Each structure stands twice: as C-alpha cells, then as structure tokens.
Amino acid sequence: MPHGNVKKPPSDYPANALPSFGRAELPRLDLLRSFEAAARTLSFTQAAEELFLTQSAVSRQIQQLEEGLGVPLFVRRHRALLLTEAGAVMQRAAIDCLERLRDATALVRAAPSLRQVSITTTPGFASIWLIPRLARFTANHPQVDVRISATLDLLDLARSQIDVAVRFVPIRGGRETPLFAETVLPVCAPSLLRDGPHPLRQPTDLAHHTLLTVDAPAHYGAMMDWGPWLEATGAGDLRMKNTLRFNHYADAVAAAVAGQGVAIGRFPLLDEHLKDQRLVTPFKGGAASQRGYYVEIAAHAQRNTDAQDFVAWLRTEAAALAP
C-alpha cells in the first residue's frame, strides 16, 4: 500500500512509466541528496536549509530529476508537498543508496586508523613489566594503536576480539617456551631491612613483620603467592605479625616499596625494582613458582602483521632479561 502522504500521479504520468536505468543513466548524487531531504521533510525550504542551498536550487534539482525519470515525484500544492507513488519508490531507493554510501565512506575513511593490537594480560604483568617497556614498541610502530585489557579473568580471545594474550599459567612441560619462567623470593623496602627492632636476617625474623599478600582467583591456585617460597624453605607454618591483603599484585608491590611490610617478589618481573633499589631481597635462595608467562595469539590475528610484530617484540624484550 502507498504511504499515507503518497498520492497517485496524474494520468499523463502512469504509475508503470518508471524507466529502467543503465549504469550511465543513474541520477546524479547531488540530485538524490536533494530529493531524499525534500521527500523526508516534504518541504523544499527545509531541505534547502539542511543542505545549505537556496530553495530555488533544490526546486530546480528536483525538477531535473523528474525530467530525467520522466515522471513527477511530488504533487505540488499550495504550501504542501505530497509524494507520488513514483516518488515513494525513489525515496526508498535513495535512502538505501545514501545509507550504503555513508557506511562505505565511514569504513574506508577509518581504515588507516584501524591498525591496532589488543592485548590481555594480568594487571601485575601489565603495570610492572609491559607498560614501562611499551614505548620501545610504539616508537617503532607509531601507526599501531595498542589496547591493553589488564584483568585476572581468562578472556576468550575470539569472543572478546583480542589479538594477543600473555597468560600467567603453570609451566606446560616443554610443549611451549614461555616468555620467562618465574622465581619467587621475599622483598621489602631497604629501610625495613636495616632499621627497627627486628631487622630481617633470616626467615624466622618475618614473624615480626607484616605479610603483604594477594587474594588471587581460584583458577590461579593457592600456591601462587607465598606458597612456593615457604614450601622450599621449610617455613610453611610461619605466622607473621599481621597481614595486608590486596586484589592486585602491583598494589602489594607498591605497599612493599612504601615500607608497609614484606611481599613475595616475582622475578624477573621485579628486576628493575632491585636495580634501582626500590626493593631489596633480605634472604638468598629463590624458589621456582612453577608458573610462567606464555604468549597466545588469536586465530583471527594470525594474519595481523602488527600482532605478529608485537609478539616478536615481546619475545625480544624477554630474551634481553636472560643472564
């Protein structure tokens, strides 16, 4: 059924008189734009204001379109316009055509800025290890937009549209090579090591200090934090004076730097903290945590050269940590 504003064309323009157009006979884009605006507003004046044209210019363009088609598109009444049946057909076509052009134009214009690599990893790895080094990657890849999702959740790469994951997971028995394995050892601020009534000389001295620990999600396991070192030193029943618990490892490290207690240091993650003496290790002999940082690249990113470059850069940075 015709639209409510549609009126049948006069008898000298039969409804079936719409001609077929070849590619060379398509209406000009400027005529379609003016027609779409006039058909939507049912006003040459409003269409002209919208398109920054004069009312007479819009009227002439509509007339040119009608002459090219051989049918009237509007019934012109005093202070009113109505679409003819032919006009309603052309309105639907014009809307579809212009929308497709807008979408295609937006896609093509956005294409140069769509060079991006999205990464998911733990908050600790992101803030302590990755972000301080990231300027070296972006300096060599200035056109690449790097997006980091720092979370303890194990995100599905395909569903989340993430290109690369750095997973902190148990050592995988030689099937893959991790970026690096991990050694754990207590760390604290230099002032805590040498000052106060209970300097840290041996593990039993920890009983006089505050334990800084992380409440990790269940899938990381209970041995993620202090467990491996306490087990390796035979101090599994050690009780410290009190405990401060954090959701994220980086917060526990920050508390240790501030001298609020003793945290478990994860190396080589904290190598730079030892080099600049923000933290010190009061005891010798670290323990392997049996966990490592593994790189996973999504199937949809296998042909993303920027994602491949990012993974190669990660491995180069990790290799530089080797003694």
| Tally of CA atoms within 13 A in the half-sphere of 52 that contains its CB | 0
- Looking at domain 180-289, which of 3.20.20.70, 3.40.50.10330, 3.40.190.10, 3.20.20.80 is its CATH number? 3.40.190.10
- Looking at domain 114-178+292-319, which of 3.40.190.10, 1.10.3720.10, 3.40.50.300, 3.40.1160.10 is its CATH number? 3.40.190.10
Residue 235, pLDDT > 80, answer: no
Q: Quote the pLDDT of residue 60.
A: 94
Average pLDDT, the chain: 84
DSSP 38-69: HHHHT-HHHHHHHHT--HHHHHHHHHHHHHHH
Residue type at position 212: L
Domain coordinates in residue numbering, the chain: 6-111, 114-178+292-319, 180-289
State mean pLDDT over 59-64: 93
Tell me the torsion sign for CA atoms 87, 93, 96, 99. negative
- Which fold is adopted by the domain 6-111? Arc Repressor Mutant, subunit A (1.10.10)
Helix (H) or strand (E) holding 135: helix 131-140
| Residue-wise pLDDT tens digits, 267-322 | 999 999 999 999 999 988 888 888 889 999 999 998 899 999 999 999 999 988 76
6-111 and 114-178+292-319 agree in CATH topology: no
State yes or no: cis peptide before 268, omega within 30 of 0: yes
State mean pLDDT over 256-274: 92
- For 290, left (φ over 0), alpha (ψ -120 to 50), or beta? left
Local confidence band at 20 (pLDDT 50, 70, 90 cut-offs): very low
Q: Quote the pLDDT of residue 112.
A: 53
Q: Quote the pLDDT of residue 322.
A: 65
